[in-house]
Structure 1
């Protein structure tokens, strides 16, 4: 009996030691968990590219993983740098064109300018001559200067954080490409779940990773590009700046490019360009907003799509908790929850059916 309790106690103690060590390890690497999940999601999406390189380099997985990572770096950093340069130039042009307008409003001859504004369609609804534009301009300039100071103070930290996170993702991605199959096999070997449940979780991770990375980013780029081209066609300055804003907005569920396009259309209508404003609004509602419904099933299939409410809260929660990369991590966590609930429902179906029948 004493031998039994000694063996039993040794087993329990060993399990407790494993659990405590695992908790300590995950607590230690918790700042990097977001990058690990993002790297895993990217690995599932681009693994076919890695296999193509493996065949080309005759089975040398290390070289293939390195080439795959280099291709991704060039494909990501190249366009980001080019667009960043153009956005910076257009933002400076927007600032330079806005400053003279504000200065003229603060000068003595602003009565003539206000009279011209009052003669437009906007003047039918608002008497702009009653507004103290001088004081308003000073408040706007003060708020703008304060915001610019805050942005400049945080820019260096944000750039360093982005660069560090980016290279952590690429570094992790290299090993996921090279050793991914061995890592998955080892995790399945140590998992207490049966093979069907393991495959279900892996399948769900792959599907939601493709849905969030390929679907969300590609659809965001399409919507932002269509919105930017719309603004460009109707002569809106700094169209590329607003295009980048629309790409970011399209990532957030229930928001999207309409938050830029509809106000742009209303401003055109208020300033007398009625048909231009109506066309911008129609393009926003009919074309840009329906890109998600038309393109997402083609890109990722309907099977990977979570319920809209689950997507909404998991994406917003991920963004708030994990930052920019949360739009990937949030839905991945939600997908695992849904998969585990499905496994539970299938495993205990008979018991749940009896409970439901008994309750009825």
Structure 2
């Protein structure tokens, strides 16, 4: 009896201390998460260095981290600085009246009166839709300006978080395998389940960050280049916006370049409008269909509807980090329920294999990741 009381007391204190530790780490959640993502993505680089240079954990981890900084962190910082400058410029032009989004919409309405007639069939008031679009545009530019001001005022906090992320990434790259083995030993879920879940976590993180993010950067770059070539104001800003919306399936970069093509047609710039339309369909649009299976893979991809909902929900809950965390939570949700169906439900394994998440393949991926 006394031994049971001791065990229960210990477990209660363990849960309490663990919860307190999570609250303690909450302010550093962003840097910790991205450090884990960096370690997962660049772990193969560290393994290759180990094979070539030998078992030198500190040197190999340092070289891996330097490679990450050169090809990822520094370019992102440069792009972010350019984006802030561009966003401030757009916001200032709106404040000075040089850019009038309402007039652009009115021009489209005058050139294509059928749009207003079409919307009226669905009881949609064009005037209200116009006001909402203008408010959204002004709100977006104001948001960018506030973010730029916030970065300027919190420069020390930003670079502190960046330094913390780099510092943590070094140790996670160096000791990641040991930490995973330690967590598998500590968690009371069963070693096989834990390895499967860790394999799924690594798989989705790599696919989302390395695959989807790279595709978004490519689509944003392609969109920014054509905007710049056609002389459209704020090409860099719109390129980044296209990169962001490219993360959302069924929406994509078309939400940016299609209205611009319509406006160019409305003002009589037919040649630029045709060029932008053809480029958007044949180059920007096909980039996703061609590159996603190569960089992400069909087997690791969640259903598009689930990616869309989880990405939007993740952004609403976690901010900018949500575009990775949302699909990650959705994938773990599918993995947990897949394990439950396979081990506890009465359905046959063949019925489970027909679900969007192929458990047998994940199980094999988990074994391969463990063996490596």
Give the TM-score normalised by the residue count of structure 1: 0.77
Identify the residue that residue 63 of structure 1 maps to in structure 2: 59
Identify the residue that residue 160 of structure 2 maps to in structure 1: 164
Unpaired segments of 5 or more residues in structure 2?
Answer: 114-134, 352-372
Identify the residue that residue 49 of structure 1 maps to in structure 2: 45
Identify the residue that residue 72 of structure 2 maps to in structure 1: 76
Identify the residue that residue 189 of structure 1 maps to in structure 2: 185
In 2 relative to 1, CA 26–148 (structure 1 residues): closer, same or farther, beyond 3 Å? closer
2:221 corresponds, among 218, 225, 242, to 225
Task: For 2:90 and 2:9, locate their aligned partners in 1 and report how far apart those are by CA, in whole Å.
Answer: 66
Task: For 2:141 and 2:71, locate their aligned partners in 1 and report how far apart those are by CA, in whole Å.
Answer: 35
- Which structure would you say has the larger Rg? 1
Identify the residue that residue 174 of structure 1 maps to in structure 2: 170
Task: For 1:266 and 1:65, locate their aligned partners in 2 and report how far apart those are by CA, in whole Å.
Answer: 50
Shifted more, 152-161 versus 267-276: the winner is 152-161
- Cα deviation for residue 319 of structure 1 reads 1.4
- Cα deviation for residue 182 of structure 1 reads 1.0
Identify the residue that residue 342 of structure 1 maps to in structure 2: 338
Matched residue of 1:29: which SS?
helix
Q: Judge conservation of contact 1:42–1:209 (CA < 8 Å) in 2.
A: no
Superposed counterparts of 1:208-287, under 5 Å: 208-287=204-283
Superposed counterparts of 1:83-122, under 5 Å: 83-84=79-80, 87=83, 102=98
- Cα deviation for residue 145 of structure 1 reads 11
Task: For 1:6 and 1:144, locate their aligned partners in 2 and report how far apart those are by CA, in whole Å.
Answer: 62
- Cα deviation for residue 305 of structure 1 reads 0.9
Unpaired segments of 5 or more residues in structure 1?
Answer: 106-113, 127-138
In 2 relative to 1, CA 34–254 (structure 1 residues): closer, same or farther, beyond 3 Å? farther
Task: For 1:271 and 1:320, locate their aligned partners in 2 and report how far apart those are by CA, in whole Å.
Answer: 37
Identify the residue that residue 26 of structure 1 maps to in structure 2: 22
Identify the residue that residue 154 of structure 1 maps to in structure 2: 150
- Cα deviation for residue 147 of structure 1 reads 7.1
- Cα deviation for residue 220 of structure 1 reads 0.5
Superposed counterparts of 1:310-321, under 5 Å: 310-321=306-317
Superposed counterparts of 1:349-360, under 5 Å: 349-350=345-346
1:243-300 Cα distance to aligned partner (Å, 9 max, x none): 1222222234443322221121112111111132133123323432332222111112
- Cα deviation for residue 125 of structure 1 reads 6.2
Identify the residue that residue 111 of structure 1 maps to in structure 2: none
Task: For 1:348 and 1:89, locate their aligned partners in 2 and report how far apart those are by CA, in whole Å.
Answer: 56
In 2 relative to 1, CA 99–150 (structure 1 residues): closer, same or farther, beyond 3 Å? closer
Matched residue of 2:152: which SS?
helix
- Cα deviation for residue 96 of structure 1 reads 8.7
Task: For 2:142 and 2:313, locate their aligned partners in 1 and report how far apart those are by CA, in whole Å.
Answer: 29
Task: For 1:316 and 1:147, locate their aligned partners in 2 and report how far apart those are by CA, in whole Å.
Answer: 18
Task: For 2:36 and 2:140, locate their aligned partners in 1 and report how far apart those are by CA, in whole Å.
Answer: 40
In 2 relative to 1, CA 294–202 (structure 1 residues): closer, same or farther, beyond 3 Å? same
1:63-84 Cα distance to aligned partner (Å, 9 max, x none): 2112211221222343235445
